[in-house]
Structure formats: structure tokens, C-alpha cells
Amino acid sequence: MAHKGGFARAQVALQFDQRAAGGRAPGQRLRERCRGRFVGPGNVFYNQRVSASNSLSSHQFVSQIQTWARELGFSQIGIAGVDLSSAEPGLSAWVAAGFHGDMHYMAAHGLKRARPAELIPGTVSVITARMDYLPASTAAAPGEWQAMEFSRLERPDEGIVSVYARGRDYHKILRSRLQKLSERISEHVGEMGHRAFTDSAPVLEAELAARSGQGWRGKHTLLLNREAGSMFFLGEIYVDIALPPSEPVTPHCGTCQSCIDVCPTRAIIAPHKLDARRCISYLTIEHAGAIPLELRPLIGNRIYGCDDCQLICPWNKFAQRSALPDFDERQGLTGQQLATLFAWTEDEFLRFTEGSPIRRIGHERWLRNIAVAMGNALRVLDEAHSLPVRAALQARAAGSGELVAEHVNWALGQFDDKNGL
């Protein structure tokens, strides 16, 4: 799970060592090696060769994996088992309530999300990995970066992109490095089946991370770490070797519910329960249609994702700067005026978002999001500052598709309503 203010997903990041598998299909070798070795509840299969080897199943070997992971830019790794049955009732209830919105893939795989050994037959352990993503420019003000980000929300004519999306697409970064880590492990243990996931496929990423000692689930449902807050990405490697699970950590939210109180759309309906249909990250990234009228004024100038529940969290004063320059802010996406961003042609959108997670929403949804932010700006800007915003909207009013045109007309209507026109 990319640990961020968003529900961004990409194509399934399935990596499998076909060479080691001798050309067999993904999962086949795992099933062949583990067939008949059921030894306990939760569909847990054990690779007897690995289990019998103290050198491979020891905590020292996990420490070695941690060393390799740090060399690849990861902040921490943990080990989880495959029995997530206690998470199944909550997952089923969440989907049944419709809180997943249009993210039909969350319901399509049923309880496989909570059953790693069903998703990838033969899986014995899950290696979880965490990678900090705070950009250098943000981390340059330790202890102040949260206030700095909040101040940006008070500039109505500036478009705000979620912190995680200001650099390169994390899917590609994590996926390639998880694969390299898998190869390192394979070199040490010999033949090993594995698949790597980065915010993709039916995987309960935050749950696995919590069970493997990476942190605890905050009331906003994100993972929190005492040394790093929540500003990090998550990835996993499903493996067919037995590794000792990491110890979970105790929660440290106490009575604090700042994340619940700060949410602009009240999407966190109770501690640890999120209605994605109201979440600004969902609305601006995952949702393909029109943004509900009643939620548009609450979005403010957030045009891609939302970080409010993370910005307010006291633990994020410990957020760590990324060890990789890939997540540093790229020019053109930060501190830009809404009118400037709204004027991008589709070719310009593709050029400026090349290698960025933003590209996946497409030009139309990009314009839709900005139109909403511009409408919100027109409700608070004075006459002089409203002129470029109105001009940009009017230039798009004709010739746009139905989705963009409807949001443009709504935005222009905000100025008319304010001025009694």
C-alpha cells in the first residue's frame, strides 16, 4: 500500500522468478513444492527444506534482509504470517456497506485480500517493506513541514497536489527495488518463489504491515510508525520460505482523534472506519464520474489527493525525508496557479506528468478536479484575483466533454452566486 493520502492503484505488480521456476507458471512451483505439507490453521504451508534450516529461518537472516533492504532505499522490513482471518469480518462489513465506492476491484476478489495463501498458493511468509517519501524541500523544515503544507491550503488560487505524488511514480520505484530484494534473497537461499506487490492487487497491505511490526493502524486507517509517522509507501513480497514473524507494536493514538476532526468531508466516520465515497483522495483520483455537488465546496484547492489527516497527526513531526531523490518535488506540479494548470492541453498534461502517478487519472479528470478548485476559489477571491480564474474557465466552457463542461459551469456559477448574478 502506498501509504499516502490517496487510493491510487496501478496495474498488478506481479513479479515472479520465472527463471528459477524452470518456465512453469507463477504459483505452480510453489504448489508443487508445498503440496501435502499442511501443518496448522490458516492454510499455512511450510517449505520443509527452509524450515529445517536454522540458518534460513533465523532472526539473523531477517536482519540480513533488513540490511539489503536499506541498501535499496527501504526504511524497514518486517515479516508477517499468512493467517489474516481475524481481519475478514471487518473487510466483509466494509465492502457490504458500500464504503469502497466505485473501486469494484476491492469487492471482486472477495476474501482473497485476507488470504495470502489463496491469492498466491504456496505462500508461507510475507515480507513487508516501508519506504519514506517526504521530499527534500518539505523535510528541510523539520517540525514545521505540516504547518507549511496547511498554509498552502489557504491559497485558494493555487492547486495542491498530495505530497506523495509530487515526485516520480512510486509504483515503479518500489516494484523494481522489491524485485531486486527478492533476487538478493534468492541468491542466498537458492530457488525461491515470490511475487512483489506495490499498492496493487487484492492485498491487505496496511494489515500485513501492522502485523509485521511496521507500526499500528491509526484512526484514519493508515499505518503509523513512532519514528516515521505515516509518510511512507508500503510494499510486500509473498514468498514460499518460512521466516520468523516480526512482533507487532502497540497502538499509540490514545484519545487523540485529530484526524477525524480535521477531515474536510467527514470521510472518517468512526475510528478506523473510512467511507471512501467521501474521501477527497478517492474523489480526485479513483472516482471517474461527476463529483457530488454537496462535496465540491469541501474539496477546496486540493486537485489530486488530500493529506489533511496526515498533516494534523502529531506523529508526523517525526516523518523522515526520503533516502531517494526520486520523490523530490518535480517542477510544474507544486506551487502552480490553478489557471496555469487548467490551461494545459492534453499533450502538455502528458508531458508534465510523465513518470508521475498523476498521469493515470487522465487529462479529463485532471481538468474536472481543477474546475472544482477554481469554483471554490471564485467564492473567496476578490474581483481582481477572480479575473484570470474566470477567464480560464470561460475558455474551457465551449468544446469540452460533458464531464468537464458540467464542472466548469458549476465553477462559473459559484462566482455568479457570490455576486447575486
Q: 239, 273, 301 — which closes off a domain?
A: 239
* CA-based nearest residue to 222, from 311, 153, 135, 291: 311
Residues 112 and 224 in one domain: yes
Residues 352 and 231 in one domain: no
Contact 171, 13 (CB under 8 A): yes
Dihedral sign for Cα atoms in the order 90, 93, 95, 101: negative
- In the numeric block, which cell numbers belong to residue 412? 462559473
pLDDT given for residue 313 in this prediction: 98
- In the numeric block, which cell numbers belong to residue 231? 509518510
Residues 208 and 284 in one domain: no
Q: Tell whether 6 is covered by a domain.
A: no
Phi and psi torsions of 10, nearest 5°: -130, -175
Q: Tell whether 3 is covered by a domain.
A: no
Domain that holds residue 217: 28-141+169-239
Residues 232 and 268 in one domain: no
pLDDT given for residue 16 in this prediction: 25
* CA-based nearest residue to 217, from 187, 180, 256, 250: 250
Specify the 3-state DSSP secondary structure of 79: strand
Residues 73 and 210 in one domain: yes
- Terminus-to-terminus CA distance in the chain, angstroms? 47
Place of cell 458540467: 406
Active site residue 169: no
Residues 232 and 279 in one domain: no
Q: 208 vs 5, 203, 310, CA distance in Å?
A: 19, 8, 20
Residues 173 and 310 in one domain: no
Task: Catalytic residue, from 132, 199, 240, 307: name it.
Answer: 199
Contact 174, 233 (CB under 8 A): yes
What is the domain count for the chain? 2
pLDDT in tens, the chain (421 residues): 445 544 332 222 222 233 233 333 333 443 333 332 322 332 233 343 344 344 455 789 999 999 999 999 999 999 999 999 999 999 999 999 999 999 988 888 778 888 999 999 999 999 999 999 999 887 667 678 999 999 999 999 999 999 999 999 999 999 999 999 999 999 999 889 999 999 877 799 999 999 999 999 999 999 999 999 999 999 999 999 999 999 999 999 999 999 999 999 999 999 999 999 999 999 999 999 999 999 999 999 999 999 999 999 999 999 999 999 999 998 878 889 999 999 999 999 999 999 999 999 999 999 999 999 999 999 999 999 999 999 999 999 988 999 999 999 999 999 877 776 6
pLDDT given for residue 139 in this prediction: 67
Q: Rounded distance, CA 277 to CA 102, Å?
A: 8
Q: Rounded distance, CA 372 to CA 363, Å?
A: 14
Q: Tell whether 175 is covered by a domain.
A: yes
At 411, which amino acid appears? A
Q: Rounded distance, CA 352 to CA 356, Å?
A: 8
Q: Tell whether 309 is covered by a domain.
A: yes
Residues 277 and 230 in one domain: no
